[in-house]
Amino acid sequence: MPFSSADLAAIGLTLRLAGTTMVLLLVLCTPLAWWLAHTPSRWRGPVSAVLALPLVLPPTVIGFYLLVTLGPHGPVGQFTQSLGLGTLPFTFWGLVVGSLIYSLPFAVQPLQHAFESIGTRPLEAAATLGAGPIDRFFTVALPLARPGFITAAILSFAHTVGEFGVVLMLGGNIPGVTRVVSVQIYDHVEALEYTQAHWLAGGMVVFSFLVLLGLNLTRRRASMVS
């Protein structure tokens, strides 16, 4: 069998982390992307820049500051400790927090572009028929922005699967808790277990290719429909 029990545990944890992150990002980023697509506020530019920081910052920088912020002496860490929840670093939910921040642009930007591409005419037409703001959002905007949601889901899931620096800084290397596929590959290489590393790394290459292929097909179908 090409994958050991430790490899399978890392794969399962990675898929769980990516799925959780994807769902939470879609929920959290939808109102944020809607605001960015329609607000005339002067804060739109600074907010967009802050949300795009994970695209240019080294993952270790993000992981370091998250470790400090969520740790026992950080503001968030002290708050969670006061609630009796302990601290988030070196836990699965700590990885989720890090993944949310690291993959944030890959969900916000496709959703924002999808909402911007709708324009105002469909929403205005719905308003003339008596639809309120909430009705217009759920019955008009969301269905028309469906390709953006698909792109955001695919990219945020795939980007989370490929994380290394953030998860290593924030989660360490705890088997079954924080050891994801990228860290497992690193462990195999350190132990000179190149055959096992090849299997996992090759799987990541195939997965990445399929993600990009699926994304291109989705965009092509969306353009043909429009």
Note the pLDDT of residue 17: 95
How far is 10 from 67, CA to CA, in rounded Å?
22
Note the pLDDT of residue 224: 64
135: part of which helix (H) or strand (E)?
helix 133-136
Q: What is the DSSP letter of 53?
A: G
Work out the number of other CB atoms within 10 angstroms of the CB of residue 162: 16
Note the pLDDT of residue 216: 81
The pTM score is: 0.89
Note the pLDDT of residue 105: 95
Q: What is the pLDDT along the chain (226 residues), one digit of tens a residue?
A: 588 888 899 999 999 999 999 999 999 999 999 999 988 889 999 999 999 999 999 999 999 999 999 999 999 999 999 988 889 999 999 999 999 999 999 999 999 999 998 877 887 787 787 777 788 888 888 888 888 999 999 999 999 998 998 999 999 889 889 999 999 999 999 999 999 999 999 988 998 898 888 888 877 776 665 5
- The closest alpha carbon to 173, from 159, 188, 194, belongs to 188
In the block, which residue shows the tokens 């990516």? 18
CA end-to-end span of the chain, whole Å?
46
